[in-house]
């Protein structure tokens, strides 16, 4: 039998240092608290002091320092600067041992925890978790660490679910909370409800007014930037996206739509827009409004109108994209006449008047004439106010209760789900049971056609409901605006032009028809001065 002689290890498995060499281990501590509240500050300070004393009191250890993070969650190591600097130093072989309170202080994400510790092992750096008494170079270390990290991760999941439940309970109770640091116009009130900051509210009202006067989000952003008005975040340059978000936010009319987004991954803190996956809650009159609800609704309708016009919209004045050519249906634009003469002036003229083979025959019209004739039409409308209101109410009655669409919509959605199940079964059966592929293709194609036809019906009825809902909004806003309109308009005001008028159509023969939002049309002849 061969003789075997054991040659003892002379170097450490992980550090490659001589086993019998008496050298001090370079040791660092890691301290972290997961919130930045005052209550946690003492805990944070105590951790730093404790590990400084703990390491320096050991004569076989050389104190490297205590790496720290305040107010940072342990779910991911991505944004923890102190932690990341410590790992970087350890990988550069500046640290031999890291001491921390527990696995949960290190990381609550199992994957992050294990992958980091394995990197540290490769670099010869050990970790010691005091609470669990785990040394990662120990033979049992990785098994224990895996178990403890998984438990910590489940703890984080439970905490996340509790927080989510708490948020949704507040939503269901109608409790509104804003990101006040970046929300223009409001601050937290004594009762925890949004309280108006008047200086900021003036900017919000100005943004809405400028939009209704015809300016685009880009134009408003440029105006506010040029005026030196700071953004909600205190910056000097406004962007159109910020203007758009202010114009579309229902909180400015005193209401609140809650749970617009939700967390889909508690580890990565990823959120997505709520498109029906979780409940939403709409709270009416939740706080004091900055913008009148009617004005807010008008802005939403104007946003939809401009979106439909796409690039055809011009936001230079309140007359832009509202004066229409009776010949071609295109918009009138502002043109300069007699630019080199003393009687130069701006007029409104069809943008296609000198384009193409067929020139529009519609006449030009100037701003004073538009204002004069609109005031005449408006006064004529108000003289017949009772009849106008009656006609508008009849149109609202004809629209009726939009809830009548809901049963049909639900039935079609259920049908789509049923067809989807049939398609899944068809595919599954073809994958597991031998059958004629021609027959399979016929079944699959028939189901696909049935699905597409049902989807088209659903889209059609959804569009019908949306169109009627928009009509209802237009008529109700028209009636509200009509009530606020004086019986006789003595001098020009932008408000009725914005709130009552749909469009003004210029015809040949120097006639202009004002089409109001309820469908009423009033025509006037004009002579341009």
Strands 521-525 and 511-516: antiparallel
Structurally, the chain folds into a number of domains equal to: 3
Instruction: Decide if pLDDT at 3 tops 70.
Output: no
- Locate 426 and state its tokens: 């068809």
Assigned domain for 144 exists: yes
Q: Residue 283 is inside which H or E element, if any?
A: strand 281-283
Contact between 302 and 321 (Cβ < 8 Å): no
Work out the mean pLDDT of the chain and round it to a whole number: 81
**Does residue 13 lie in a domain region?**
no
Q: How large is the average pLDDT for residues 292-318?
A: 82
Tell me the average pLDDT across 136-144: 71
Mean pLDDT of 120-142: 82
- Give the least confident one: 72-76, 250-254, 355-359, 507-511: 72-76
Do both 304 and 351 map to the same domain?
A: no
With beta carbons less than 8 A apart as the criterion, state whether 518 and 388 touch.
yes
Of 299 and 314, more confident? 299
Least confident of 51-65, 255-269, 345-359: 255-269
In a domain, 8, yes or no: no
Query: Which CATH number do you get for residue 222?
Result: 3.90.1750.20
Q: Is residue 138 part of a domain?
A: yes
Contact 523, 512 (CB under 8 A): yes
- pLDDT 10s digits, 10-54: 555 445 555 555 578 999 999 877 654 444 445 677 888 889 999
Distance (Å, rounded) from C-alpha 342 to C-alpha 390?
51
The answer, yes or no, to whether residue 148 has pLDDT greater than 70, is no
Domain boundary among 160, 194, 212: 160
Residue 20 falls within a domain, yes or no? Answer: no
- Please report the pLDDT score of residue 81 as a whole number: 85
Task: Identify which has the larger pLDDT, 217 or 168.
Answer: 217
Per-residue pLDDT, 249? 87
What digits encode the pLDDT tens for the residues 177-208?
A: 677 788 899 888 887 788 899 999 999 999 99
* pLDDT at residue 265 tops 50: no
Considering the domain architecture, whether residues 365 and 478 belong to the same structural domain is answered as: yes
Q: H-helix or E-strand containing 221?
A: helix 217-226
Torsion angle (degrees, nearest 10) of CA 9, 14, 18, 19? -60
Element (H, E) at 481: helix 437-484
* 420 shares its domain with 502: yes
Do 84 and 223 have their domain in common?
no
Last residue of a domain, one of 282, 309, 336: 309
Judge if 287 and 336 occupy the same domain: no
Q: Are 426 and 444 in contact (CB under 8 A)?
A: yes
Distance CA 526, CA 93 (A): 88
Look at residue 403 and tell me if it is in a domain. yes
Proportion of the chain above pLDDT 70, given as a percent: 76
Task: Quote the pLDDT of residue 146.
Answer: 64
Give the per-residue pLDDT at 268: 47
CB atoms within 10 A of CB 332: 27
Instruction: For residue 283, give its domain range.
Output: 180-309
Residue 154 resides in a domain: yes
Residues 238 and 371 in one domain: no
Q: List the CATH number of the domain containing 151.
A: 3.40.50.1390
Lowest mean pLDDT among 138-147, 347-356, 384-393, 445-454: 138-147
Task: Single out the residue in 309, 331, 348 at which a domain terminates.
Answer: 309
pLDDT in tens, 68-100: 887 555 444 556 788 889 999 999 999 999 998
For range 407-431, the mean pLDDT: 88
Shared domain check, 501 and 357: yes
Residues 45 and 184 in one domain: no
Same domain, 108 and 228: no
Regarding whether 118 and 72 lie in a shared domain, the answer is: yes
Q: Checking DSSP bridges between strand 194-196 and strand 256-258, what pairing results, if any?
A: unpaired
pLDDT at 431 (0 to 100)? 75
Q: Is the pTM above the cut of 0.85?
A: no
Confidence of residue 436 (pLDDT cuts 50, 70, 90): confident
Lowest mean pLDDT among 56-65, 165-174, 339-348: 165-174
Q: Which residues of 383-393 are buried (b: 16+ CB within 10 A; e: fewer)?
A: eeeeebeeebe
Q: pLDDT-based confidence at 453, cuts 50/70/90?
A: very high
Same domain? 286 vs 352: no
| Lowest mean pLDDT, pick from 119-133, 318-332, 393-407, 426-440 | 426-440
CB 28 within 8 A of CB 65: yes
Asked if the structure places residue 5 within a domain, the reply is no
Same domain, 186 and 257: yes
Cβ-contact 145, 113 below 8 angstroms: yes
CATH number, domain with residue 385: 1.10.287
């Amino acid at each position: 039998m061969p003789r075997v002689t054991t040659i003892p290890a002379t170097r450490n498995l992980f550090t490659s240092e001589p086993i019998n060499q008496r050298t001090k281990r370079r040791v660092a501590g890691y301290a972290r608290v997961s919130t930045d509240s005052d209550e946690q500050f003492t805990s944070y300070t105590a951790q730093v002091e404790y590990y400084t004393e703990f390491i320096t009191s050991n004569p076989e250890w050389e104190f490297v320092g205590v790496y720290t993070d305040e107010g940072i969650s342990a779910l991911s190591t991505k944004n923890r600067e102190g932690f990341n600097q410590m790992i970087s130093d350890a990988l550069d072989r500046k640290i031999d041992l890291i001491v921390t309170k527990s696995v949960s202080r290190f990381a609550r994400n199992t994957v992050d925890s294990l992958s980091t510790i394995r990197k540290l092992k490769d670099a010869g750096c050990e970790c010691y978790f005091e609470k669990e008494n785990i040394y990662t170079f120990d033979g049992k270390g990785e098994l224990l660490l895996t178990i403890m990290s998984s438990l910590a991760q489940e703890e984080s999941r439970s905490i996340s679910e509790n927080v989510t439940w708490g948020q949704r309970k507040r939503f269901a109770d109608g409790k509104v909370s804003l990101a006040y640091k970046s929300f223009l116009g409001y601050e937290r009130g004594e009762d925890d409800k949004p309280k108006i900051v008047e200086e900021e509210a003036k900017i919000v009202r100005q943004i809405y007014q400028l939009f209704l006067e015809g300016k685009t989000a880009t134009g408003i952003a440029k105006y506010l930037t040029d005026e030196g008005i700071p953004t909600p975040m205190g910056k000097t340059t406004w962007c159109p996206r910020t203007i758009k978000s202010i114009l579309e936010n229902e909180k400015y009319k005193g209401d609140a739509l809650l749970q617009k987004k939700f967390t889909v991954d508690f580890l990565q803190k990823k959120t997505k827009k709520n498109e029906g996956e979780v409940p939403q809650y709409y709270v009416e009159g939740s706080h004091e409004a900055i913008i009148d609800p009617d004005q807010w609704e008008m802005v939403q309708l104007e946003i939809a109108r401009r979106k439909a016009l796409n690039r055809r919209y011009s936001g230079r004045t309140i007359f832009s994209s509202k004066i229409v050519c009776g010949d071609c249906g295109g918009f009138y634009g502002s043109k300069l006449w007699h630019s080199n003469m003393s009687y130069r002036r701006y007029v409104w003229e069809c943008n296609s008047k000198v384009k193409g083979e067929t020139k529009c025959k519609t006449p030009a019209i100037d701003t004073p004439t538009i204002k004069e004739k609109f005031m005449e039409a408006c006064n004529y409308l108000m003289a017949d106010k009772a009849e106008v209101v009656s006609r508008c109410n009849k149109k609202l009655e004809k629209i009726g209760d939009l809830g009548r669409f809901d049963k049909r919509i639900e039935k079609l959605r259920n049908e789509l789900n049923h067809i989807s199940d049939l398609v899944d079964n068809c595919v599954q059966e073809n994958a597991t049971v031998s059958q004629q592929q021609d027959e399979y293709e016929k079944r699959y194609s028939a189901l696909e056609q049935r699905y597409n036809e049902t989807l088209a019906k659903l889209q059609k009825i959804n569009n019908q409901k949306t169109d009627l809902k928009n009509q209802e909004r237009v008529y109700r806003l028209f009636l509200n605006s009509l009530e606020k309109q004086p019986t006789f308009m003595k001098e020009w005001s932008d408000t009725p032009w914005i709130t009552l008028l749909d469009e003004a159509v210029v015809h040949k023969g120097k006639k202009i028809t004002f089409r109001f939002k309820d469908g009423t049309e009033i025509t006037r002849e004009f002579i341009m001065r």
